[in-house]
Amino acid sequence: METPRTEFYLILLFLFYHLPCVPSQKQPTVYCETPFQCGNITVGFPFSGEQRSPSCGHPFLKLSCNKSSNTTSINLSGYNYTVLHIDMKKESLTLRLSRQDFTGPFCSASFSSSPLPQDLLQNLPSYKSLTVFYTCDTRRHFLGNFTCRMNNLVSVVQDSRYNKLCDKRFSVTVPASYVPEEEALNITRLESVLREGFEAKLNMEEIPCPECLSTGENCGFIVTGMGCCKYVSGSIECRDSNNDTGSYSMNRFILITIGTVAGSVVIAFLVMILVFLLCERRKKKALRKQNLEALVTSRLYSYRQIKKITKSFSEVVGRGGFGTVYKGKLRDGSKVAVKVLKDSMSSSEDFINEVASISQTSHVNIVSLLGFCYEGSKRAIVYEFVENGSLDQSMNLDVSTLYGIALGVAKGIEYLHYGCRTRIVHFDIKPQNVLLDHNLRPKVSDFGLAKLCQNQESILSSLDTRGTIGYIAPELFSRMYGSVSYKSDVYSYGMLLLEMIGANKERVGKSDSNKSSVYFPDWIYKDLESGDITMLLEGELNQEEEDIAKKMIIVGLWCIQLCPSDRPTMNEVIEMMEGSLDTLKAPPKPLLHMSMQNISESSQLSGESSIYSEV
């Protein structure tokens, strides 16, 4: 495993750069008796800033002066305020503040609440909070609404009125007399009120200035709270106002030293944790790649080789929900299909599923894996190239040919369920995932949603809804129909059969597959009962072709039974497909009027529209 030397050196550099140091005892020659002066603001304790040392005031009450505009500002809880006035004459010290981003147009302000530090400042009773709602439902009417770029804004007092109609909200402080109950708001008036600011009183204990002044000292702040400060030998020394021993400079040095050591220990501990996590991450990444290489016997390609094989991804032959399929050529001239997974995929689970599943297969009706690429977020799978594209582009073939394709698909699924070391459930059987070679031999592809079942288990747990609308088994979107199992593939195969023979063209042709309220047509059963299936098919058929079509429809109806236990296994499906029509009976007619819209809300849609679907 490669040692993360670069990261380690960067962390050490960060540590030394940010290591706290003991400051020099020498301070600028400033005195606590010197007031802060800026424009119309002249204040002393408990404020600091400019001419006043930080130890001469509360650490959160540091003022700044803009020399060009003669305006005073203060930062509270991460927000900058303009100090319009400070009243030092009242019993409770009062500040009039205005958020600086509210001095301009309201729409250019930061749409976020800025609560004051409650232990330090408190709004006067004459002021209240006004809730501003934005990103609201444009189809509704709101009081005092106005538009900022793409967001509708609404200002109200009662939060509950628009909580469900608007996505976002924040609060501003305004005079209590301004907050309306029923009347509409006006943005110009709101901007004016916000520029005028609001008043807040200072929450502080009794200022110990008389005690400090009696000893020739000034009010200030120390680590433990308020204290008395004086200028001694070029530096400001402070002591606890309740401590009569005099200077506390030695205690200050001890506290700073303790803080420095403690801070260094904490930072060193955090660095050790970070280095450990980086090492563990690299170990897991290397182990995952090693396991993947051990799992498959196919060739591992680099991403540069993948680009060369596909001629820099020049020819697209298919697109899907998991990635794009490109046509490529190996050194020996053989054609391949390369599926490149999307970079936005946050997990490699689908990639591992597909490689692990297909690497265990070797069947004439399963697409062959030739190699794969696994370089961080860059992942690709190399398959054999199948000349005739996907089945959805070949539905107009004659009935006998379609029957042969359907039987081959059944044998491929049967192999996945029973022929592998571990059972593989595909979960996405559909025409787009059945590829046809030059002999029109079907090959099941796209194992991105597949799940490996250890010990040939039949029941799958904790499985998310997966698949394509129209082919998803009912138990995948509602457990009321039964447990999810390999019988879900049987259902999808049944829908594939009916799609191939044309029995559901009425449903597909006359309704949107995502919005139809009719899940399956009742008239198929009526035609079967009457013995006339010519309405289901296109063109003239001889008796043999009609028997084949009827057999495929009956098998398809058995496969799409609502209850998984009522569906046949793929072994039984093959027996029915290869057996005589006389031995087949139509299954009981289920109640299949279900809302496709409800299914689509809980299902994973895929919209392939190419001659070569993603493999």
pLDDT digits (tens, 9 = 90+) for 553-575: 999 999 999 899 999 999 999 99
Q: How many CB atoms lie within 10 A of CB 167?
A: 11
Question: Is 128 among the domain residues?
Answer: yes
The predicted pLDDT at position 158 comes to: 52
For residue 294, what are the β-bridge partners?
A: none
Q: Beta strand 63-66 with 71-76: parallel, antiparallel or unpaired?
A: antiparallel
Q: Tokens at residue 190, please? A: 């709101």
Nearest partner of 373 among 342, 335, 339, judged by Cα:
339
For residue 272, the model assigns a pLDDT of 92
Residue 362 within a domain: no
Map 114-134 to HEC letters: CCCCCCCEEECCCEEEEEEEE
Residue-wise pLDDT for 529-554, tens only, equals 666 665 566 557 788 888 898 899 99
Instruction: Please say if the pLDDT value at position 162 is more than 50.
Output: yes
CB 482 within 8 A of CB 439: no
Q: Could you give the C-alpha distances from 279 to 5, 13, 76, 268, 375, in angstroms and in order?
A: 10, 18, 40, 17, 18
Phi, psi of 572 (to 5 degrees): -70, -35
Residue 173 pLDDT level (bands cut at 50, 70, 90):
confident
Mean confidence (pLDDT) of the chain? 76
Question: What is the number of helices (H) and of strands (E) in the chain?
Answer: 14, 25
- Average pLDDT, stretch 286-300? 64
**Rounded CA gap, 52 and 31, in Å?**
7
pLDDT at 248 over 80: no
- Number of other CB atoms surrounding residue 89 within 10 Å: 6
pLDDT at position 611 over 70: no
What pLDDT score does 231 carry?
Answer: 63
483 with 459: CB under 8 angstroms? yes
First to last CA, the chain: 34
Distances in whole angstroms, Cα of residue 551 to Cα of each of 495, 568, 576, 584, 603? 14, 15, 8, 8, 31
Question: Residue 143: is its pLDDT beyond 60?
Answer: yes
Which of 108-122, 254-268, 452-466, 487-501 is predicted least confidently? 452-466
| Sign of the CA dihedral with 107 first, then 108, 111, and 116 last | negative
Long-range contacts of 343-349, Cβ-Cβ distance < 8 Å, separation of 24 or more: 343/377, 343/378, 345/377, 348/288, 348/379
Residue 188 within a domain: yes
> Which CATH number characterizes residue 401's domain?
1.10.510.10
With a cut of 50, say whether residue 518 has pLDDT above it.
Answer: no
For the ranges 261-270, 355-364, 514-523, the maximum mean pLDDT occurs at 261-270
**564 or 244, higher pLDDT:** 564
- Residue 340: which of 318, 324, 358 has the closest Cα? 324
Among 152, 168, 203, residue at a domain's last position: 203
- Cα–Cα distances (Å) from 359 to 328, 410, 438, 448, 450, in that order, read 20, 20, 23, 13, 12
Tens digits of residue pLDDT in 56-70 = 788 888 999 999 999
Asked if the model's pLDDT at residue 596 lies above 70, the reply is no
Residue 435 pLDDT exceeds 50? yes
293: enclosing H helix or E strand: helix 249-295
Indicate if the pLDDT at residue 2 is higher than 50. Answer: no
Specify the pLDDT at position 111: 82
Structural domain includes residue 135: yes
69 within domain boundaries? yes
Give the residue with greater pLDDT, 506 vs 231: 231
Alpha carbon of 43 to those of 33, 83, 121, 197, 368: distances in Å?
A: 10, 12, 17, 19, 82
pLDDT at 437: 92
Across 376-440, where does the E strand assignment appear? Answer: 378-384, 423-425, 434-436
Omega cis (within 30) before 35: no
Query: Is 613 a member of any domain?
Result: no
311 or 215, which is more confident? 311
Tell me phi and psi for residue 372, to 5 degrees: -155, 165
The Cα–Cα gap between 254 and 259 comes to 9
What is the rounded CA–CA span in Å between residue 465 and residue 561? 19
Choice between 31 and 67, residue whose per-residue pLDDT is larger: 67
- pLDDT for 381-396, tens place per residue? 899 999 888 898 888 8
Q: How far is CA 424 from CA 46, 413, 488, 590, in A?
A: 73, 9, 12, 28
Average pLDDT over residues 150-162: 55
Question: Where among 184, 203, 222 does a domain terminate?
Answer: 203
Domain of residue 192, residue span = 59-203
Return d(Cα 3, Cα 600) in angstroms, integer.
Answer: 48
**DSSP per residue over 435-452, as a string?**
EE-TT--EEE---TT-EE
The answer to whether 98 touches 81, Cβ cutoff 8 Å, is: yes
- Residue of 497, 333, 383, 365 whose CA lies nearest to 439: 365
Q: Is the pLDDT of residue 600 over 90?
A: no
Which of 82-91, 98-107, 150-159, 279-288 shows the highest mean pLDDT? 98-107
Confidence label for 245 from pLDDT (cuts 50, 70 and 90): very low
More confident residue, 4 or 367: 367
Please state whether beta strands 127-136 and 166-175 pair in parallel, antiparallel, or not at all (unpaired).
Answer: antiparallel
Q: Mean pLDDT, to the nearest integer, of 366-392? A: 88
Closest CA to 100 of 143, 51, 67, 66: 66
| Percent of the chain scoring above 70 in pLDDT | 67
Residue tagged active-site, from 350, 392, 428, 446: 428
Which of 143, 178, 203 is the C-terminal boundary of a domain?
Answer: 203
Residue 441: pLDDT over 90: yes
User: In this structure, how many other beta carbons lie within 10 angstroms of the beta carbon of residue 556?
Assistant: 24
At 329, the pLDDT band (50, 70, 90 cuts) reads very high
Other CB atoms within 10 Å distance of the CB of residue 544: 10
Query: Is the pLDDT reported for residue 178 higher than 60?
Result: yes
The verdict on whether 428 is a catalytic residue reads yes
pTM (two decimals)? 0.50
Q: What does the pLDDT read at residue 109?
A: 82
Q: Which residue has the higher pLDDT, 318 or 576?
A: 576
pLDDT band with cut points at 50, 70 and 90 for residue 168: confident
pLDDT value of position 576: 95
- Looking at the structure of the chain, the number of domains it has is 2
For residues 71 and 40, give the distance between their C-alpha atoms in angstroms, rounded to a whole number.
8
Of 517 and 1, more confident: 1
Structure tokens at 302: 């680099």
pLDDT (mean) for 101-128: 84
Q: What is the mean pLDDT of residues 21-29?
A: 44
User: β-strands 299-301, 369-375: how paired?
Assistant: parallel
> pLDDT higher for 418 or 507?
418
Residue 412 confidence class, pLDDT cut points 50, 70, 90: very high
| Strand, helix or coil for residue 534 | helix
Q: How far apart are CA 527 and CA 532, in angstroms?
A: 5
